[in-house]
Amino acid sequence: MQIVTRPVDLSSCDFPEQLDPLLKRIYQARGISNQEQLDRQLSCLPKPASMQGVPAAVTRLVLALEQKHQIMIVGDFDADGATSSALMVLALTAMGYTNVEFLVPNRFDYGYGLTPEIVDLAAQKSPDIIITVDNGISSVEGVAHANSLGIEVIVTDHHLPGAVLPAAVAIVNPNQPGCDFPSKNLAGVGVAFYLLSALRAELRRKNWFAEQNRVEPNMASWLDLVALGTVADVVPLDQVNRALVYQGLLRIRSGRCRPGIQALLRIACKNPARLVATDLGFALGPRLNAAGRLDDISLGIQCLLTEDAEQAMNTARALDELNQDRKLIEQDMQREALTIVEKLVFSAEAELPSALCLFQPDWHQGVVGLLASRIKEKYHRPVVAFARGDSGELKGSSRSIPGLHIRDALDAVATQNPGLITKFGGHAMAAGLSLEENKLPEFEQAFATQVAKSLSEDDLQAKLVTDGSLQADQLSMRTAELLRDSGPWGQLFPEPCFEGDFVIMQQRIVGEKHLKLVLAPHGQSQLAIDAIWFNIDTAVWPNHNAGVVRCVYRLDINEFRGQENLQLLVQHIQSMNNN
């Protein structure tokens, strides 16, 4: 593991003098050069009308309201899809729509996106309009089938489009060709929020709420859903997403959030008043995702929709049980995957391939995405993990490393090898694909060839990037609170991470594989600080021969029995001596 310090150049920055020097350094290293880029108020957001497709979608939805059309929301089966679906149902209902239902069928029976089969299932409810959320941009056949049945489709999505767009009545996606919306990083729930905001503005302009004696909904009341879906989908936190997440966090911290989110927080033992963005990603998101991975995401959507606290708690418990099951399945799959990789390394005389394709016939297709992510993190290689789907087809989920746009890589493989990949789609760092099982060896070779063209030896070297070192007086609760309140931190706007030399004063295992430590800055043994390192290699740690170590860490505030104390969250340790 190579430890690298982020370069900093404050010469061209225009920060106010009162801004803490540490924050200036951290912000500049993340591409921020002035105070305006740090604005987290809703007023800084670009206008909804600037997103291509919004005016056409609003026009059709206004007509649907006036004529009481039946609307079917078709979502994706992850946390982004769940929050998007719940947001769409709640907001449309609050605006006066009386015929709104949602449909997120089982992923294993119907596949991803608005497939013709899902259209047939939706058609049983006789909708006039289907609105996709967090999917649809690649559903050319599904939209065509809906059109043939007389069902109009509005696509809201954020995934990258293919060469052909679906023939929908409107497509709302900042990544579609010709869209000038300044942020290309919205999650599906963010796109839905923008469309609904524009719809409310148009209904206000038409004096709809006053004429119907209906209270005009406050779109900000659903920012808790937007924050949860945005963080859970691991989209880059540009300024637009930071503002949406920050405002959503403020609502959750003050208790103004959905009963389902409150229940999930209780299940996860998280204090809402101290909530940070990473809690949404690591505590709430996995519980919602577990339903879609193992069963039916509808359970997660119902948790977010209900107004009843008891029902919310019951569904949150059920989601937590599914997440426990998911963990056990994932652990077994990880063990098998590690065995496969070890055999690859052995057969290649200790040289790890530049890309990894993994498959076991009994792997769970709802968990292969997590498996790919874990193996990618361990070996720093692009990974595609496959499981068996239906009719002899393999369902693959891929995760990438910096330097390789995984969707573009799959596109190149598909273009150069016609008929090899049945379908694919996704983002720069994650994508899904399907192919026939007997074509797996051919795909593995083609994918490895494409990756080799795109990545250098340096790209394949795992790097841990830090924000440099802290002075002893900065190892404090004040600094930890300053950093916590200066987020939200997340994808491509990473939480500050530091490096320094410490003496290990104490070390012991807690739980099954967590290392609890007491560290002191080298040369300052009187400054003892608690630290914890999660999921360590128990074959290596505890290491009582390790004296002075180079430690990479984040500052954290640990709450225990009503007391708050500084804690270091260790990311990596390198031994400096063995005395």
d(CA 567, CA 579): 26
* In-domain check, residue 17: no
- Is residue 106 within 8 A of residue 50, CB to CB? The reply is no
d(CA 359, CA 251): 43
For residue range 397-410, list pLDDT tens digits in order: 999 999 999 999 99
d(CA 86, CA 89): 5
Q: What is the domain-level CATH number for residue 77?
A: 3.90.1640.30
| Mean pLDDT computed over 45-73 | 97
Q: Which residues have a Cβ under 8 Å from the Cβ of 143 and sit 6 or more positions away? A: 114, 136, 153, 155, 166, 167, 168
Shared-domain flag, residues 390 and 495: no
* In-domain check, residue 564: yes
pLDDT band at 579 (very low <50, low <70, confident <90, very high): very low
Residue 22: predicted pLDDT: 97
Q: Is 550 helix (H, G, I), strand (E, B) or coil?
A: strand
Q: What is the domain-level CATH number for residue 505?
A: 2.40.50.460
pLDDT band at 346 (very low <50, low <70, confident <90, very high): low
pLDDT band at 353 (very low <50, low <70, confident <90, very high): confident
Count CB-CB contacts under 10 A for residue 9. 9
| Count helices and strands in the chain by DSSP H and E runs | 19, 17
Shared-domain flag, residues 367 and 413: yes
Given a cut of 90, whether residue 525 has pLDDT beyond it is no
Given a cut of 60, whether residue 233 has pLDDT beyond it is yes
Residue 577: predicted pLDDT: 62
450 vs 511 pLDDT, higher one: 450
Q: Which of 519, 509, 521, 512 is nearest to 569 (CA)?
A: 519
The range of the structural domain enclosing residue 279 comes to 44-108+181-318
Shared-domain flag, residues 428 and 538: no
For residue range 429-461, list pLDDT tens digits in order: 899 999 999 999 999 999 999 999 999 999 999
Q: Which of 495, 479, 493, 500 is nearest to 550 (CA)?
A: 500
Shared-domain flag, residues 288 and 385: no
Given a cut of 80, whether residue 480 has pLDDT beyond it is yes
Boundary (domain end) residue, out of 424, 454, 484: 454
CA distances, 142 to each of 65, 113, 235, 293, 427 (Å): 24, 8, 26, 23, 21
| Mean pLDDT computed over 191-214 | 97
Q: What is the DSSP letter of 512?
A: T
- Rounded to an integer, what is the distance from CA 543 to the centroid of its chain? 35
d(CA 87, CA 90): 5
For residue range 7-20, list pLDDT tens digits in order: 999 988 999 999 99
d(CA 450, CA 430): 16
Residue 477: predicted pLDDT: 95
Residue 348: predicted pLDDT: 47
* In-domain check, residue 128: no
* In-domain check, residue 537: yes
Shared-domain flag, residues 236 and 361: no
| Mean pLDDT computed over 566-570 | 96
Boundary (domain end) residue, out of 318, 339, 367: 318
Given a cut of 80, whether residue 121 has pLDDT beyond it is yes
Shared-domain flag, residues 100 and 210: yes
| Mean pLDDT computed over 36-51 | 94
E strand segments, 238-390: 356-359, 383-388
Shared-domain flag, residues 103 and 213: yes
* In-domain check, residue 138: no
Shared-domain flag, residues 68 and 197: yes
Number of domain units in the chain: 3
d(CA 197, CA 220): 10
Residue 345: predicted pLDDT: 65
Shared-domain flag, residues 210 and 358: no
Shared-domain flag, residues 571 and 482: yes
Boundary (domain end) residue, out of 318, 337, 367: 318
* In-domain check, residue 38: no
Backbone angles phi, psi at 290, to 5 degrees: -60, -35
* In-domain check, residue 346: no
Q: What is the domain-level CATH number for residue 395?
A: 3.10.310.30
In the chain, % of residues over pLDDT 90:
84
Per mean pLDDT, which range of 33-37, 149-153, 180-184, 543-547 is the poorest? 543-547
Shared-domain flag, residues 432 and 526: no
Beta-bridged to residue 305, according to DSSP, are none
Shared-domain flag, residues 426 and 551: no
In the chain, % of residues over pLDDT 70:
98
* In-domain check, residue 5: no
At 61, list the tokens.
């939805």
